[in-house]
Amino acid sequence: MTPAPDRRAAQSASSDAGVRILRVDAEANGQRIDNFLLRHLKGVPRSHLYRVLRRGEVRVNKGRIKASHRVQAGDLVRVPPLRAPQVADPGRIPSARLAWLSEAILHEDEQLLVLDKPAGLAVHGGSGLSFGVIESLRALRPGDALELVHRLDRETSGCLMISKRRGTLRQLHALMREGRMDKRYRALMVGDPGRDKMIVDAPLVKNVLHGGERIVRVDHEQGRAARTLFRVQARYVVESMTLTLVEAELVTGRTHQIRVHAASLGTPLAGDPKYGDEEANRRLKALGLGRLFLHAAGLGWTLGDPPRSYRLSAPLPAELAVFLTRLEPST
């Protein structure tokens, strides 16, 4: 996508070879510095950007900042020399992908749109992928200022929100920070948590392993606050295995939160290759479950002046619904 002229950061020459100075425009006012850089330095790996941020090589108005720093209109951002990897031409986005995007829109208005994302499709390019949902959308609508409001794991299906205006993006991010965004998921646990309703308060810390893989774990000393509310919807049994269908309500929105919190209860999600039970996953795959059983089923929020309430839902994908029909309800 070619950004609209007023969304581009103005650049000026620097006396240091390869150093760039980016001026923050009004559209980027209040944006986190890491997201600002990711937006304007296309092709540079996320791990590289976070590395130079940790080292203090990125300066705002000549001062050191953290990755959580929020830039203001008029700020000057000094960016050290960064080399984007040489990649093959990704070519054109398949026409079938573009056709799917048009049909997957659950809701659209002048401020935002919500898609029903399938499992297996990343929300953005990177990690060996030429393009994801957001790149495909921008190709489909080259004149729109589209930005991801939040992310879903590649393996997770369901409601994905995209803003069409920077002001809307800031408002939605504020709702999420303040816990005023209702996010509901449906998930299948391996095992029985023993109660019909559970609140998991377990701080999470994110680590990046060699090779760039992200792993999240519970850490009560260094982790960030994370809370998930689980409500049991049904219990099943198959081949001596107990499975529990739950609704998971995200009170916070940390990376892999539902998956890690479910595993912390001793009931990992079915089909989870990272935090799950390998033997159980193997047996479930033989029974027809070929993916992580986690689906972003609904979103709710209030936005605008006068306030407008939104409530959107995405039906359980056919492959998950069919799998449930093969299970015997537990008595």
Catalytic residue list contains 153: yes
Give the Cβ contact number of residue 1 at 10 Å. 16
**Nearest to 167, CA basis, from 73, 49, 41:** 73
265 by DSSP, 3-state: which?
Answer: coil
Distance separating alpha carbons of residues 251 and 200, to the nearest angstrom: 10
* CB of 246 closer than 8 Å to CB of 233: yes
**Nearest to 276, CA basis, from 250, 229, 195, 289:** 289
Parallel, antiparallel or unpaired: strands 294-303 and 241-250: unpaired
* CB of 106 closer than 8 Å to CB of 312: yes
Q: What is the DSSP string of 77-93?
A: EEE----PPP-----PP
Q: Which of 25, 75, 116, 153 is catalytic?
A: 153
* CB of 298 closer than 8 Å to CB of 184: yes
- Distances in whole angstroms, Cα of residue 260 to Cα of each of 137, 175, 285, 292: 30, 24, 21, 13
186 by DSSP, 3-state: which?
Answer: strand
Q: Is the previous residue joined to 306 through a cis bond, with omega within 30 degrees of 0?
A: yes
Task: Supply the residues annotated as catalytic.
Answer: 153
